[in-house]
């Protein structure tokens, strides 16, 4: 009996439905390549590697006065090594991320750790300022893979709904660096020598190289590495020159560029507090012991760990909640949870509080209030940066490491430029006015984040850089 329905429509619908189901199953299978216990081991390894760049910077800052004395220089000159390492990190993360997309995550980790070993040994043996700066360049370059490639690995092994929590755990572990590194560097400087700490970084990098060699598998999705495609085509394996600055094309997306700018403005405030701490908090309360100066960094690190863990879990819950409400996934939902409260309240007001207390409050009460401000600032920084990092992994998921590197590169440029101006500004305008200026900049970052949350869908429509969908994420 004839009907008005074409018999071809039913098979087509079934075929379409089957195709979607198959794609979902294949998508799920990618994230089941590693068991939960294997994922935890991988997350631990990349977190330990991610500690290195923060230890490289964190152990150096409390030692600046001693290094300046040892190398017959000044604090202003030696503090430029911090700007140099930040700038090197900015370029280095682009290079390592680009090559990790071609050769895979594991070989890039091994090569960068070898470079970091060489740099740390050079810093520990430096006998002049030029030698120090050259060795710091190699040290920073080698360690710069830790964060961008680490976030790429997290994007490789964790699903969208799990990625915020994993990123939070990653940053929570990585940010043990700000909590422990300054204390370790201060103790080494005061009781032994600043060179001892650099030698420890050399040993740590060697141990990480050996651990990575034996225990870290390749996590890139099968068939996505450039080297695999070359091998399948039958071409001879050879070294390929990749333009690392090609990653920066991702900044054509206002979503990527505005979040990166906001992150740079927020992260810059961390350096405003920490780089001159020996000359602000230390000078105000007559603290000359490098170990005690290093211990003053701990509240920031503890706040970082707490903020990252909270922000990661909250961002996952917000993503799941809004996806149920709308019936579809919107990437900007990840930024709704904690970024605004961090950029609007925690970061600027802790800066202002530190400036007021350091300028006007004496004695133990002043020290206590300053440490509370540092703790709150540590929380605020990661209420912003942890969800932002996961967001940058979400939107161009096929280029997760490159997106993370682009974000960090732009942030690094901002920080490297401003960090060299911090001590001169404090000497010229004082702690309060310098911190107040930094607070205003953090509010600008808050406005940028709000605009992405509010108009993110329209911004993505302006320039398509290969945004991910729910099925490709």
* Per-residue pLDDT reduced to its tens digit, 204-249: 999 999 999 999 998 887 777 767 766 655 555 567 777 777 877 8
More confident residue, 37 or 192: 37
CB 283 within 8 A of CB 361: no
Pairwise pLDDT comparison (291 vs 436), residue with the higher score: 436
Most confident of 55-64, 163-172, 351-360: 351-360
> Is the per-residue pLDDT at 467 higher than 90?
no
Neighbours of 464 (CB within 10 A): 9
Cβ atoms 408, 337 nearer than 8 A: no
The residue among 3 and 238 whose pLDDT is bigger is 238
Structure-model confidence comparison of residues 5 and 174, the more confident one? 174
Q: What is the pLDDT of residue 11?
A: 43
In whole angstroms, what is the distance from residue 378 CA to residue 207 CA?
29
The pLDDT of residue 439 is 93
Q: Which two tokens stand for residue 408?
A: 């960090």
Number of H helices, E strands in the chain: 20, 0
Q: Contact, 350 vs 376, CB < 8 A?
A: yes
pLDDT tens digits, one per residue of 76-109: 787 777 777 777 887 888 888 888 888 888 999 9
**356: pLDDT strictly greater than 90:** yes
Alpha carbon 41 to chain centroid distance?
A: 20
Can you give the pLDDT at residue 178? 67
Distance between CA atoms of 22 and 412, rounded to whole angstroms? 42
pLDDT tens digits for range 311-332? 878 888 888 888 888 878 888 8
pLDDT at 361 over 50: yes
Contacts of 454 (CB under 8 A, 6+ apart): none
Angle between helices 105-125 and 129-143 (to 10 degrees): 160
Which pLDDT band holds residue 203 (cuts at 50, 70, 90)? very high
370-381: pLDDT as tens digits: 999 999 998 999
Every domain of the chain and the residues it spans: 38-216+245-472
pLDDT classification of 10: cutoffs 50, 70, 90:
very low
Span 39-58, average pLDDT: 85
**406-461 pLDDT, tens digit each:** 887 788 778 777 877 888 888 888 889 999 999 999 999 999 999 999 988 888 88
* Helix 160-174 vs helix 145-157: crossing angle, to nearest 10: 150
Cα–Cα distance between 151 and 154 in angstroms, integer?
Answer: 5
Cα–Cα distance for residue pair 365/363, rounded to 1 Å: 6
For residue 329, the model assigns a pLDDT of 80
Contact between 170 and 43 under an 8 Å Cβ cutoff? The reply is yes
Section 169-194 average pLDDT: 76
pLDDT attached to residue 9: 41
Q: What is the pLDDT of residue 80?
A: 75
Q: Express as a percent the part of the chain with pLDDT over 90.
A: 18
Q: From CA 3, how far away is CA 155, in angstroms rounded?
A: 50
Give CA–CA dist 75/54, Å, rounded. 20
- Kindly tell me if the per-residue pLDDT of 2 is higher than 70: no
Angstrom distance (rounded) from CA 383 to CA 373: 15
> Measured between alpha carbons, how far is 308 from 359 in angstroms, rounded to an integer?
30
The per-residue pLDDT for range 106-117, each reduced to its tens digit, is: 999 999 999 999
In three-state secondary structure terms, 252 is: helix
Task: Please name the CATH architecture into which domain 38-216+245-472 falls.
Answer: Up-down Bundle (1.20)
* pTM exceeds 0.75, yes or no: no
Host H or E run for residue 311: helix 298-326
- Token look-up 């994420």 returns 473
Q: How far apart are CA 39 and CA 44, in angstroms?
A: 8
User: Nearest-CA neighbor of 64 among 264, 296, 288, 367?
Assistant: 288
What letter does residue 64 receive in the DSSP assignment? H
């Amino acid at each position: 009996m004839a009907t008005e329905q074409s018999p071809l429509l039913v098979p087509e619908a079934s075929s379409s439905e089957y195709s979607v189901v198959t794609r979902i199953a294949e998508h799920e299978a990618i994230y089941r390549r590693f068991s939960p216990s294997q994922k935890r081991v991988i997350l631990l390894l990349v977190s330990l590697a991610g500690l290195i760049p923060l230890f490289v910077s964190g152990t150096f800052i409390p030692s600046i006065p001693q290094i300046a004395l040892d190398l017959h220089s000044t604090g202003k000159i030696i503090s430029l090594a911090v700007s140099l390492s930040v700038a090197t990190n900015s370029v280095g993360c682009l290079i390592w991320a680009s090559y990790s997309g071609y050769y895979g995550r594991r070989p890039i980790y091994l090569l960068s750790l070898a470079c970091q070993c060489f740099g740390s040994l050079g810093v520990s043996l430096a006998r002049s300022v030029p030698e120090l700066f050259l060795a710091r360049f190699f040290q920073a370059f080698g360690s710069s893979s830790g964060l961008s490639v680490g976030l790429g690995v997290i994007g490789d092994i964790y699903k969208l709904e799990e990625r915020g929590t994993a990123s939070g755990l990653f940053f929570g572990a990585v940010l043990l660096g700000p909590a422990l590194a300054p204390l370790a560097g201060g103790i080494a400087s005061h009781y032994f020598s600043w060179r001892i700490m650099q030698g420890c970084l050399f040993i740590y990098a060697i141990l990480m190289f050996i651990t990575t060699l034996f225990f870290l598998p390749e996590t890139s999705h099968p068939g996505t590495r450039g080297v695999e495609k070359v091998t399948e085509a039958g071409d001879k394996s050879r070294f390929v020159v990749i333009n690392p600055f090609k990653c920066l094309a991702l900044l054509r997306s206002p979503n990527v560029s505005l979040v990166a700018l906001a992150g740079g403005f927020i992260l810059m405030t961390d350096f405003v507090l920490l780089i001159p701490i020996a000359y602000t908090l230390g000078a105000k309360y007559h603290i000359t012991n490098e170990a005690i100066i290093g211990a003053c960094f701990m509240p920031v690190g503890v706040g970082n760990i707490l903020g990252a863990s909270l922000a990661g879990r909250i961002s996952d819950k917000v993503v799941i909640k809004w996806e149920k409400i709308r019936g579809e996934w919107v990437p900007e939902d990840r930024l709704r949870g904690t970024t605004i409260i961090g950029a609007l309240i925690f970061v600027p007001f802790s800066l202002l509080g530190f400036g007021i207390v350091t300028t006007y409050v004496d004695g133990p009460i002043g020290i206590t209030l300053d440490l509370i401000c540092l703790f709150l600032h540590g929380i605020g920084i990661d209420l912003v940066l942890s969800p932002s990092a996961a967001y940058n992994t979400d939107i161009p998921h096929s280029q997760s490491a490159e997106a993370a590197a682009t974000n960090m590169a732009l942030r690094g440029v901002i920080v490297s430029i401003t960090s060299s101006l911090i001590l001169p500004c404090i000497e010229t305008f004082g702690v309060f006015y310098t911190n107040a200026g930094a607070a205003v900049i953090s509010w600008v970052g808050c406005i940028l984040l709000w605009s992405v949350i509010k108009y993110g869908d329209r911004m993505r429509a302006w320039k398509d850089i290969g945004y991910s969908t729910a099925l490709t994420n």
